[in-house]
């Protein structure tokens, strides 16, 4: 189990990064995103990445860093409205995009992790999201075929982990991280706190250790707010 724990992102990512690879990243908005590992990917210089994530970060945070350095070739995402560089690259034809509804994207990750190559859903039927995809009728309703996602690498951020690689996520960070952790051929997790063997209550573990190959202690734990709205007090 000790071999799972690495001293830093460079060590944890060693031998895993190649140009043209697919990386799935957990997180929701700017919550629960693996900042330390994203920095390690940026420093590696790997290019041509297909990045799978609900969000694309913002211009100077999260996956926005990899967009800024042109290391991402394609994004498979649901919500990208907070990233100006993403918008610029897309409109100029520099970035390929595959949009997926949030629930569909989560299920594509879960399906890939469960060994399910595809599934049918009503979401997106009759829209541009269904163009070019197989459809089938069940009980008089039309469904569209969506493919499960299996990535070369999954990067996630957890609240706590033990040395075996069992993970616990906290609140909103649990939205996409557990599914992302299952669908990588290799999964690297950064965690806010490492605890000893037996300290995690078994019934509280969200991602079992079998899905996690490498661990690091997060060095970036900034709790940034994507959109800050401030009420003006009356005079």
The pLDDT score that the predictor gives to residue 231 is 78
The pLDDT score that the predictor gives to residue 11 is 97
DSSP state of 151: E
Q: Calculate the alpha carbon distances from 187 to 71, 80, 151 in Å.
A: 20, 24, 9
Give CA–CA dist 5/178, Å, rounded. Answer: 19
Query: Alpha helices of 29-184 — where are they, by DSSP H?
Result: 35-44, 64-68, 84-91, 102-113, 177-182
pLDDT in tens, 102-130: 999 999 999 999 999 999 999 999 999 99
State pTM to two decimals.
Answer: 0.91
Per run of 10 residues, the mean pLDDT along the chain (length 235 residues) is 86 98 93 95 98 89 92 93 85 93 96 97 95 96 98 98 96 94 97 95 96 94 68 72
Structural domains in the chain, sorted by start: 2-117+148-217 (3.40.1080.10)
The pLDDT score that the predictor gives to residue 89 is 92
């Amino acid at each position: 189990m000790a071999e799972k724990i690495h001293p830093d992102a460079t060590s944890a990512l060693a031998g895993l990064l190649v140009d043209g690879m697919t990386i799935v990243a957990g997180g929701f908005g700017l919550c629960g995103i693996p900042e330390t590992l994203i920095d390690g990917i940026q420093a590696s210089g790997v290019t041509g990445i297909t990045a799978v994530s609900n969000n694309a970060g913002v211009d100077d945070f999260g996956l926005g860093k990899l967009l800024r350095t042109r290391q991402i070739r394609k994004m498979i995402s649901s919500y990208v409205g907070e990233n100006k560089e993403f918008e610029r690259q897309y409109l100029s034809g520099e970035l390929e995009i595959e949009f997926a509804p949030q629930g569909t994207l989560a299920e594509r990750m879960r399906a890939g992790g469960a060994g399910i190559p595809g599934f049918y859903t009503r979401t997106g039927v009759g829209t541009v999201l269904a163009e070019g995809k197989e459809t089938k009728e069940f009980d008089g309703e039309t469904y569209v075929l969506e493919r499960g996602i299996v990535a070369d690498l999954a990067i996630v951020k957890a609240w706590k982990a033990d040395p075996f690689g069992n993970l616990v996520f906290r609140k909103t960070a649990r939205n996409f991280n557990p599914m992302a952790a299952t669908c990588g051929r290799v999964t690297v997790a950064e965690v806010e706190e490492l605890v000893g063997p037996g300290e995690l209550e078994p019934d509280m573990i969200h991602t079992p250790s079998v899905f996690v190959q490498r661990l690091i202690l997060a060095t970036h734990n900034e709790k940034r707010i994507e959109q800050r709205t401030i009420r003006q007090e009356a005079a």
